[in-house]
Each structure stands twice: as C-alpha cells, then as structure tokens.
Amino acid sequence: MLANAFTVNSPAPTLSSRTPTSGNRGWPVTVTLTGNRFQPGATCVLTRSGQPDIVGTSVNVASTTSMTCTFALEGVYVGTGTTGSSTWNVVVTNTDGQSVTRSNWFTVSSRAPTIPSSPAFSPNTRARGSTGISVTAPGTYLQPGMAVILTGGSTTITAYNVNVVSPTQVIFTIDIPAGATTGSYTARYTNTDGRTVTRSSRFTVT
C-alpha cells in the first residue's frame, strides 16, 4: 500500500457567455452565466480595480453549465459626464477554490434621465393652496432616490415621498403654496448620480 499515491483534480470552471451583458446603475440585475464545471455553492462577483466588489446574491447553480446571480447596482461607479459607464470583471469561484475570471465582461451604465412629453403628468394641474397631491410622472433612466422639483415664476415646489416605481415611472407628492405663481411649471429630475433633466410645461397651477 502506498499512501496518497493518486490525486483527483477538480478542473477550474469556465465562462462562455452572459445574459444580459450590462445593467443600469441604481437597479438590481439578474445575470445568467453559461460555461462549464460549475459546482453547487459557487459564487459570482463583479470586480474592478479601485472599486468595492459587487457580490452576487440569490445564486442558483442550475447545472454544471448554467447559473444565475443578482447584482445590486446602487451607487456603482460609472465615471463622469452625461452618459457614464464602467466595465467590470466577472469572477466565478467554485467551492473547492477553483475560479475563472473574464475581464471587462459586464458593463454598468448610467444615463441622464429624460422627461417625455407623453404621457402627461397625472394629474397635471391643480389650484393654489392644494396639498398632498400625488402625481404620477413618466421618465427614462430614473434612479431610486432621485429628486423632483417643479418651478414656475418665483415659486419652487419640492416633491416629497418620491417613489421611483421603475426606470420609466415615478410617483411623488407635492403641496402648492397658497401664494404660488399661477401658470405653467417646469419639472426637473435629478438622479442620485447628479445627472439631471428639465422639461417645461409639465404642470399647471391655477
């Protein structure tokens, strides 16, 4: 008998594709990874030099060739400018410590929000002195935690209870001062990354 005379190796996993290949800053994204030799209990992480790792959650190794995980993209670095993005490495590590890394394999994007002309704010008009008005408004690339302000003449109305339902819809509450300027108001959205948009004639005070 010869002790420790034979070794069983576990080859490292491989990665061949991912769906989707990018996600929007501020929103979670579930990514399907395909490859080979995935083990139950494997982990998936997004890494980028100089930035905190984004650890995947709700990891599900469906088979040796397919797994899913969810990445939370709140507060992720995306650079500066009107349209920002950053690329991240995808790392899968099996329970035996073997891992695979695909460099610059996932993109996190952040774009300036927009306020489309349609659909209109609902409601889009109220009288001076009205309070507790819940407004549903459209947009694109909206981020949780965004701010909404309406301005008309010398009056500024700051929305509260801002609830970003999805990247394309926000619900907020406003109070209209009794002495507010009457007429058309401009809406301004400011995302948590500082990107903003304004659009005139979105609300009317009578």
CATH label of the domain that carries residue 129: 2.60.40.10
Q: Check whether residue 28 and residue 103 sit in a common domain.
A: yes
pLDDT (tens digit, 9 = 90+) per residue, 48-99? 999 999 999 999 999 999 999 999 998 888 876 656 889 999 999 999 999 9
Say if 199 falls within a structural domain: yes
Q: Check whether residue 105 and residue 129 sit in a common domain.
A: no
Chain centre distance of CA 49: 21
* pLDDT higher than 60, residue 46: yes
pLDDT of residue 179: 96
Q: Check whether residue 23 and residue 73 sit in a common domain.
A: yes
Q: Check whether residue 19 and residue 103 sit in a common domain.
A: yes
* pLDDT higher than 90, residue 35: yes
pLDDT (tens digit, 9 = 90+) per residue, 119-158? 999 999 999 999 999 999 999 999 999 999 999 999 999 9
Domain boundary among 55, 86, 110: 110
Q: Check whether residue 46 and residue 131 sit in a common domain.
A: no
Q: Check whether residue 106 and residue 153 sit in a common domain.
A: no
Say if 116 falls within a structural domain: no
Say if 3 falls within a structural domain: no
Cβ atoms < 10 Å from Cβ of 188 = 19
Domain boundary among 50, 80, 110: 110
Say if 60 falls within a structural domain: yes
| Confidence (pTM) | 0.80
Say if 7 falls within a structural domain: no
pLDDT of residue 83: 65
What average pLDDT is seen over the chain? 94
Domain boundary among 51, 81, 110: 110
Quote the tokens at residue 99.
């891992």
Domain total of the chain: 2
Q: Containing domain of residue 158, as a range?
A: 125-205
